[in-house]
């Protein structure tokens, strides 16, 4: 028989403790982009433990470290501006929190700043991405076709539907026109890589994944995408301010 | 990592399994290392990363500055296809270098059904799978783990086997290699030196001859360095042996995602079907201070929120109360859950139970293995019906409504009465539930019965026994099913063809090696995964090399027969196994080591707690 001795109500909490909420801004770049959102939650919680931060645990049958992410990031996308909120039982200097965590975090994830939250999670409206593409056609041609693709009335993509147990995965067609906007497009100095700046709506429950978007582009134009990378560069609020 | 590789990862399920870079993984400067070791687990990342042995040997090898050990797992089918389509060779997770350029490739053989994955991984590495075709010194392909107690079905693929516990012998092997490498020895020169190390078995240094009836005539060394019998290695003192203070903490969730501390090795129980109960003898334990120290170090370094104690039977630790009491003080204060697999809760003292108030049981699970007391005596499984009933009663009073029961079908001397006994036992548990006061018990009882097919294993008293044929098992399963007359009992059973294959591989000889090769050629991999297991391909492979599965699985062996593993010495004597098999047929039980030494043949000098006691 397997027996679990469950940690009881955490000793370092009482029912209504003074707690200090910090909003941490961090990067998720390099191979860290392959860490899924659910896995990232675990990575963070274990890092807090390794850094011995005095984290506040939620009240309930299964006490958990308090941890909130305002906007999850798609698997495979890098980011310069990720956020999470944590709660501590003691006041710590923001620099102290950053340096202690950065010692124990995996490569690619780095805490840039810590501070009191300014905006509400619900203030988030959109986020900006930089996409870099190499295509099977000359860069100029790709730029032209990409402009057409993003200015069309409809942008149909095949969205993967999470398969039910023992079922094959399914795809359904979806128009993402209202969710994505091309802000800027240019050719890098090496003359092969196309850089796009995209604004995608965020915080409305729909999270755009770029792989199906580019597959739709390929299917429509017969231009093969040889490689691409995506990076979130900004998270913007309804009032136009940078989320912080 | 280049763009093409990243593009493949984007199309792969759970790509974090293929990138390395986890906290706790060890990256070294390869120009500063003398020996590179690829530790391969022949199953996917989720399974392999849960394996404690790999964590120990990974940390141990890397504790030496000039050796670098990396982890390698079998890619899942989707990523394997991507690798093959794009000519990506199997690589070490730490360096991303192809493992074909390493000095050693080491496999751990934990279960027979992972054998074809070994071949597939060698092939993915870009190496010939047959040992005789790998003529260069590098890489040396080695294998260890419990299945190595009968490695004969794998001899065609592996250069040398490491018998027993690896903490000392692995380093001795690497030291020898580091010493010889500058002189560029041939592979044979190295293997001859290696064969001198206790615990190293080089299969090509032994000739096997057969009798007319197909049984083995004799196994004779053909090299002066090869000992007549190869003895397994044992760590005498578990308190001073290396144990990692840090684990690689995976990004993705794996089967057992937690810190693990080993509390003891070996088992005192001597259940006659259980290989682990014999091949890990003698029973040795760590003292409480060692265990608490290792628990704290691991939890602090990994940040895990759960720690598990590992052993064959944690309740048999001589200071279990003190141990748990000390650990609970620590884990509770740090918000860490403590998980205790294979524990008998009835052995706790009142004082301890008071302390660990918040216990969550994973559900009530018993493994009586057999339906009647007579058959439980045959297999020497010392669990009585009273024990099951008393624990169930307490549990029902505490509101539990689910009980899981595990049994084996096809045990030696089994009769229809024993099978019907399984259904009757479940029936009595239901009656017990209804006897509990209505206000105390939960709503709706559900009993789940699972039966596995008994697989006779080497180095057990039942190594001589035939496995029941597939037809017999079908009949037995049907009989049990007919005797279950209520929907409150659910019955699950294992695929009998899987058990047949396990039986052939577990007690196979060298001739079976050819079938393993053919089965892999035909596309068998991940045989332990229901969705990939394909017995018809295995059957074709056996037919093509003229192997009768019945000869290996369903035949009774005499005590006089030379068994394929008789030239390997796992310390427990053959005479003891014979004695135990005879006692089994008379339904006589044998005391556990703590009560009385049963004279299994393990010498006192190996550090066993109870060896030679009370004789």
Using CB atoms, pick whichever of A2, A10, A31 lies closest to residue B335: A10
Whose CA is closest to A114, among A232, A218, A215, A22?
Answer: A22
**A–B CB contacts, 8 A cutoff, strictly below:** 133
Q: In chain B, whose CA is at the least distance from the CA of A134? A: B3
- Are the beta carbons of A2 and B342 separated by less than 8 Å? yes
Domain A20-117: which CATH class? Answer: alpha beta
Instruction: Quickly state the pLDDT bin for A3 (edges 50, 70, 90).
Output: low
Interface of A with B (CB under 8 A): 1-8, 10-11, 31-32, 34-36, 38-39, 42-43, 45-50, 52, 57, 63, 75-76, 104-108, 134, 211, 226-229
DSSP string for residues in B233-253: B--S-TTTS---S---B-SS-
> ipTM of the assembly?
0.88
Using CB atoms, pick whichever of B249, B302, B356 lies closest to residue A5: B356
Whose CA is closest to B566, among B514, B509, B502?
Answer: B509
CA–CA distance, B205 with B138 (Å, rounded to integer): 19
- Are the beta carbons of B252 and A106 separated by less than 8 Å? no
- Are the beta carbons of B343 and A49 separated by less than 8 Å? no
Q: In chain B, whose CA is at the least distance from the CA of A40? A: B251
Q: In this predicted model, what pLDDT tens digit does every residue of A113-153 receive, in sequence order?
A: 999 999 999 999 899 999 999 999 999 999 999 999 999 99
Q: Token pair of B422, please?
A: 């399984």
Contacts of B365 in chain A (CB under 8 A): 1-2
Using CB atoms, pick whichever of A5, A31, A104 lies closest to residue B337: A5
Q: In this predicted model, what pLDDT tens digit does every residue of A185-212 receive, in sequence order?
A: 999 888 889 999 999 988 766 677 787 8
CA–CA distance, B408 with B423 (Å, rounded to integer): 13
Query: What is residue A103's predicted lDDT score, i.e. its pLDDT?
Result: 97
CA–CA distance, B489 with B431 (Å, rounded to integer): 12
DSSP string for residues in A100-141: HHHHHSPTTEEEEEEE---S-GGGEEEEEEEEEEEESS-HHH
CA–CA distance, B143 with B120 (Å, rounded to integer): 15
Query: What is residue A12's predicted lDDT score, i.e. its pLDDT?
Result: 46
Q: Mind telling me how many Å the CA of A119 is from chain B's nearest CA?
A: 30
Contacts of A6 in chain B (CB under 8 A): 337, 358-360
CA–CA distance, B443 with B602 (Å, rounded to integer): 50
B459: left (phi over 0), alpha (psi -120 to 50) or beta: left
B14, B16, B301: best mutation site toward chain A, by most A Cβ within 10 Å?
Answer: B16
Whose CA is closest to B69, among B60, B77, B80?
Answer: B60
Q: In chain B, whose CA is at the least distance from the CA of A42? A: B251
Cα torsion through A42, A48, A54, A56, rounded to 10: -20
- Are the beta carbons of B16 and A35 separated by less than 8 Å? yes
Query: What is residue A11's predicted lDDT score, i.e. its pLDDT?
Result: 47
DSSP annotation of A58: P
Domain A122-237: which CATH class? Answer: alpha beta
Q: Is the pLDDT of residue A10 over 60?
A: no
Using CB atoms, pick whichever of B1, B337, B343 lies closest to residue A7: B337
Reduced to 3 states (helix: H, G, I; strand: E, B; else coil), residue A210 is helix
Do residues A22 and A88 make contact, with C-beta atoms less than 8 angstroms apart?
A: yes
Do residues A71 and A125 make contact, with C-beta atoms less than 8 angstroms apart?
A: no
B529 in contact with A, Cβ within 8 Å: no
Whose CA is closest to A4, among B285, B276, B256?
Answer: B256
Q: Token pair of B516, please?
A: 């393993």
CA–CA distance, B70 with B39 (Å, rounded to integer): 6
Q: In this predicted model, what pLDDT tens digit does every residue of A152-192 receive, in sequence order?
A: 999 988 887 777 777 777 788 889 898 899 999 999 888 88
Strand duo B337-340 + A3-5: pairing: antiparallel
CA–CA distance, B422 with B408 (Å, rounded to integer): 10
DSSP string for residues in B307-345: EEEESS-GGGSTTHHHHHHHHHHHHHHTT-EEEESS--G
Q: In chain B, whose CA is at the least distance from the CA of A41? A: B251
Domains and CATH numbers, chain B: 3-230 (3.40.50.280), 234-360+577-615 (3.30.750.210)
Do residues B173 and B200 make contact, with C-beta atoms less than 8 angstroms apart?
A: yes
Same fold, A20-117 and A122-237: yes
- Are the beta carbons of B345 and A227 separated by less than 8 Å? no
Alpha carbon of residue B365 to chain centroid: 20
Q: In chain B, whose CA is at the least distance from the CA of A133? A: B3
User: Please, which residues have CB within 8 angstroms of residue B352's CB and are 6 or more apart in sequence?
Assistant: B321, B324, B325
- Are the beta carbons of B251 and A3 separated by less than 8 Å? no
Sorted by where each begins, the domain ranges of chain A are 20-117, 122-237
Q: In chain B, whose CA is at the least distance from the CA of A4? A: B339
Q: Mind telling me how many Å the CA of B593 is from chain A's nearest CA?
A: 22
Query: What is residue B72's predicted lDDT score, i.e. its pLDDT?
Result: 98
Q: Token pair of B595, please?
A: 């009560």
Reduced to 3 states (helix: H, G, I; strand: E, B; else coil), residue B479 is helix
User: Which residues, numbered 268 to 297 in chain B, qualify as contacts with chain A under a Cβ-Cβ cut-off of 8 Å?
Assistant: none
B53 in contact with A, Cβ within 8 Å: no
Query: What is residue A58's predicted lDDT score, i.e. its pLDDT?
Result: 83
The list of chain B residues with pLDDT below 70 reads 1, 342, 344-363, 613-615
Q: Is the pLDDT of residue A85 over 50?
A: yes
């Amino acid at each position: 028989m397997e027996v679990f001795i469950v940690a009881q109500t955490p000793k370092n909490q009482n029912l209504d403790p003074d707690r200090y909420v910090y909003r941490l801004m961090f990067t998720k770049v390099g191979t860290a982009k392959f860490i899924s959102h659910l896995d990232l939650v675990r990575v963070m919680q274990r890092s807090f433990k390794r850094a011995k931060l005095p984290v506040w645990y939620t009240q309930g049958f299964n006490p958990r470290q308090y941890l909130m992410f305002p906007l999850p990031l798609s698997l495979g996308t890098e980011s310069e501006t990720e956020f999470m909120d944590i709660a501590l039982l003691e006041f710590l200097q923001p620099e102290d929190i950053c340096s202690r965590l950065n010692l124990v975090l995996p490569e690619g994830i780095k805490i840039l700043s810590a501070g009191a939250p300014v905006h509400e999670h619900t203030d988030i409206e959109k986020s900006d991405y930089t996409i870099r593409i190499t295509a099977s056609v000359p860069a100029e041609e790709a730029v032209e076709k990409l402009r057409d693709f993003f200015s069309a009335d409809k942008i149909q993509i095949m969205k993967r539907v999470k398969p039910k147990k023992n079922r094959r995965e399914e795809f359904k067609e979806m128009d993402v026109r209202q969710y994505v906007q091309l802000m800027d497009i240019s050719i890098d100095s090496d003359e092969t890589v196309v850089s796009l700046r995209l604004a995608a709506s965020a915080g409305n429950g729909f999270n755009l994944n770029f792989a199906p978007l580019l597959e739709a582009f390929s299917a429509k134009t017969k231009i093969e995408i040889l490689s691409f990378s995506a990076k979130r560069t900004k998270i913007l609020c309804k009032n136009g301010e940078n989320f912080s | 990592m280049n763009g093409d590789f990243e593009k493949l990862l984007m199309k792969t399920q759970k790509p974090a399994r293929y990138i390395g870079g986890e906290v706790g993984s060890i990256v070294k400067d390869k120009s500063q290392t003398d020996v590179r070791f690829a530790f391969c687990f022949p199953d996917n990342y989720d399974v392999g990363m849960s394996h404690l042995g790999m964590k120990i040997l990974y940390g141990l090898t890397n504790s030496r500055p000039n050796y670098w050990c990396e982890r390698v797992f079998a890619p899942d089918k989707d990523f394997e296809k991507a690798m093959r389509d794009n000519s990506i060779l199997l690589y070490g997770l730490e360096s991303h270098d192809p493992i074909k350029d390493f000095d050693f490739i080491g496999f751990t053989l934990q279960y027979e059904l992972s054998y074809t994955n070994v071949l597939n991984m060698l092939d993915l590495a870009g190496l010939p799978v047959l040992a005789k075709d790998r003529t260069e010194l590098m890489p040396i392909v080695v294998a260890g783990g419990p299945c190595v107690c009968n490695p004969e079905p794998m001899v065609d693929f592996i250069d040398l086997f490491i018998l027993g516990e690896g903490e000392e012998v692995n380093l001795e092997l690497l030291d020898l290699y580091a010493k010889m490498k500058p002189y560029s020895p041939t592979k044979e020169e190295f293997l001859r030196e290696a064969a001198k190390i206790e615990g190293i078995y080089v299969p090509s240094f032994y000739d096997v001859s057969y009798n007319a009836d197909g049984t083995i005539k004799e196994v004779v060394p053909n090299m002066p360095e090869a000992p007549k019998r190869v003895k397994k290695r044992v760590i005498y003192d578990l308190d001073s042996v290396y144990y990692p203070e840090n684990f690689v903490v995976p990004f993705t969730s794996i089967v057992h995602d937690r810190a693990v501390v080993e509390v003891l090795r070996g088992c005192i129980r001597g259940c006659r079907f259980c290989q682990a109960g014999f091949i890990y003898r003698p029973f040795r334990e760590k003292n409480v201070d060692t265990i608490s120290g290792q628990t704290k170090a691991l939890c602090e370094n990994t940040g895990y929120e759960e720690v598990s104690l590992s052993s064959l039977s944690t309740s048999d630790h001589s200071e279990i109360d003190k141990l748990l009491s000390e650990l609970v003080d620590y884990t509770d204060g740090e918000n860490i859950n403590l998980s205790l697999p294979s524990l008998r809760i009835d052995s706790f003292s009142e004082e301890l139970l008071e302390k660990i108030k918040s216990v969550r049981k994973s559900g009530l699970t018993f493994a009586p293995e057999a339906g009647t007391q007579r058959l439980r005596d045959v297999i020497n499984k010392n669990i009585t019906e009273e024990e099951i009933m008393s624990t169930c009663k307490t549990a029902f009073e505490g509101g539990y409504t689910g009980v899981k029961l595990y049994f084996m079908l096809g045990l030696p001397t089994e009769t229809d009465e024993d099978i019907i006994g399984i259904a009757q036992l479940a029936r009595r548990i239901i009656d017990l539930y209804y006897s509990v006061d209505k206000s105390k018990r939960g709503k709706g009882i559900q009993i789940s019965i699972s039966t596995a097919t008994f697989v006779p294993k080497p180095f057990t008293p039942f190594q001589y026994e035939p496995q029941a044929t597939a037809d017999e098992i079908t009949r037995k399963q049907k009989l049990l099913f007919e005797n279950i007359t209520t929907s409150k009992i659910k019955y699950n059973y294992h695929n009998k063809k899987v058990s047949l294959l396990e039986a052939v591989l577990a007690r196979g000889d060298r001739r079976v090696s050819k079938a393993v090769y053919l089965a892999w050629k035909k596309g068998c991999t991940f045989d332990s995964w229901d969705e990939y297991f394909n017995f018809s391909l295995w059957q074709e492979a056996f037919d093509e090399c003229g192997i009768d599965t019945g000869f290996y699985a369903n035949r009774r062996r005499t005590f006089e027969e030379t068994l394929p593993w008789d030239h390997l010495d796992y310390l427990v004597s053959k005479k003891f196994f014979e004695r135990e098999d005879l006692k089994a047929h008379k339904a006589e039980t044998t005391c556990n080591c703590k009560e009385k030494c049963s004279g299994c043949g393990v010498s006192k000098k190996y550090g066993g707690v109870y060896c030679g006691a009370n004789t």
